[in-house]
Homo-oligomer: A and B are copies of this chain.
Amino acid sequence: MFKSASVSVSLSKADFKKREPALRSALLDAQQEMIASRAFSTLIVIAGVDGAGKNDAVARLHEWMDVRHVVCNAYGPPTRVERHRPEMWRYWRDLPPRGKTAIVVSSWYNDPLRDRVLGRDDQCTFEQRLARINRFEALLAHEKVLVLKFWFALDAKVQKQRLDALRGGKARARRILTEWADIEHSPDAQAVFQEAALTTSTVSAPWMVIPSEDAEARDLALGRSVELAMTHRLAAEPGEPVAVPAALARLERPSSVEAIDLGKRLAKDRYEEELEHWQRKLAHLVDRKAARKLPLVVVFEGNDAAGKGGAIRRLTRPMDPRRYRVHRIGAPSDEELARPYLWRFWRNVPRKGQTAIFDRSWYGRVLVERVEGFCSEADWARAYNEINAFEADLQEAGTLVVKFWLAISKEEQLARFEARQETPYKRFKITDEDWRNRLKWDAYATAAGDMIDRTSTAGAPWHLVSAEDKRHARVTVLKTLCKRLKAAL
């Protein structure tokens, strides 16, 4: 699943009690306005791992909302009546009218996920079923249904403890445990979940992750997400395509880029040794016959002043200058502005044996363009899938895609900015824009977290690198690239 699923988050009971009343009344207000306007209906899909407390969260939501206008639909194995009809029939039948809210437990995702994990469906059938789900949800979104999908996530270890405790417990609790709970953290299952989550996170119905280790934080995140999505929808112009802001996904918790451990350091002598070691390794790898047939794309994103340039220089030193190009991505040219935003990157797709290094990249669409409002919400919300498709095209043509996020703390950034300003030969590196961006630190962190969630694919995952210590960052980048290259050759 999404990387943010593993970001730990907790809330004290006292804090929860303090915040609950405000949330309840905001949620109720939003619901009442939806009921009064009958502008849309709300469909809340609850999914996630066993033991995450989905039922408790749903119970709390019931408690908070006006239950006269909420139904809960849970689907088990199809009944005889249901089996005699198309798979989607029962979900269609139970669609709530406008003004009402339906909470769906064990939804249309269950069977496709299970059938793929258990090997009953081949990859093609799985993709067809996901495409059908996308068509279904897109139709609903166009037809005045607000579709909110929540994935309740739990760390594998925590889940195991809980399930073990349950197994020792009451018969009723034991009954709910299936073999399923034991395999859902297997690498195969995780890969299937991730593919499903990415494929079905569309503009109108993205998945939102609810970290579920802490019950209070879990319920607050669920309630607040529903409230915000309803309010967002109520404010939308009629007829306007409404995106559920991906930002909702990380409410009430740090973004996954903020959760990066910045404490890692590398001493100077170790650094020089390791740097030489990995540079030699890289030189050897790119010289291999197979590497001469491999197109390679390396992407660098990260906080301003995180040291992308320095890391790139360490990377290119052992490489043949005829076989790589560094693309520094700034404001687009007139030529580029007159065409779809991906055009400037498609132009620079490397051919076999060539390496294209991007110092900032197409991810600008979901970072700076999103934060600064250079494109509409619909534009950047759409971009995650467009970017995944672009990188899938690259990979299908045999390209290895390696992506780095270089992270520093806000304090370290300030220190580096000041150093740049004070050192004459570094002053060119710092602009007013850098200072302006710094003011939007939190918005950038949110955008980066969503980006990591939505574009970490099986073939092209993000590598999160602590750059608080430049030496550590440079060696980690080199080492990671060598490992990815070795695996690909």
Contacts and interface: CB of A to CB of B under 8 A. Distances in A.
A92 interface: yes
A51 to B, nearest CB: 34
A386 interface: yes
A36 interface: no
Interface string A127-149: 11001100100011011110000
B86 A394 contact: yes
Contacts of A397: 85-87, 89
A241 interface: yes
Copies in the complex: 2
Contacts of A132: 389, 393
A420 interface: no
Contacts of A95: 339-340, 343
B339 A142 contact: no
Contacts of A143: 339-341
A140 B347 CA distance: 16
Nearest to A376: B239
Given A131-B131, A393-B132, A140 B340 contact: yes
Contacts of A396: 86-87
A84 B86 CA distance: 45
A302 interface: no
A85 B351 contact: yes
Contacts of A341: 143
> Max chain B CB contacts within 10 Å: which of A89, A128, A352?
A89
A379 interface: yes
Interface in A30-61: 38, 41
A386 B352 CA distance: 41
Contacts of A85: 295, 349, 351, 397
B347 A93 contact: yes
A84 B352 contact: yes
A135 B239 contact: no
Contacts of A386: 135, 139
Contact of A92 (B335, B343, B376, B399): B343
A74 interface: no
9 contacts: A84-B352, A85-B295, A92-B346, A96-B339, A97-B339, A124-B127, A132-B389, A135-B385, A239-B376
Given A85-B295, A97-B335, 19 more contacts: A84-B352, A85-B349, A85-B397, A87-B393, A87-B397, A88-B346, A89-B346, A92-B347, A93-B346, A95-B339, A95-B340, A98-B338, A98-B339, A124-B127, A127-B128, A132-B393, A135-B385, A135-B386, A135-B389
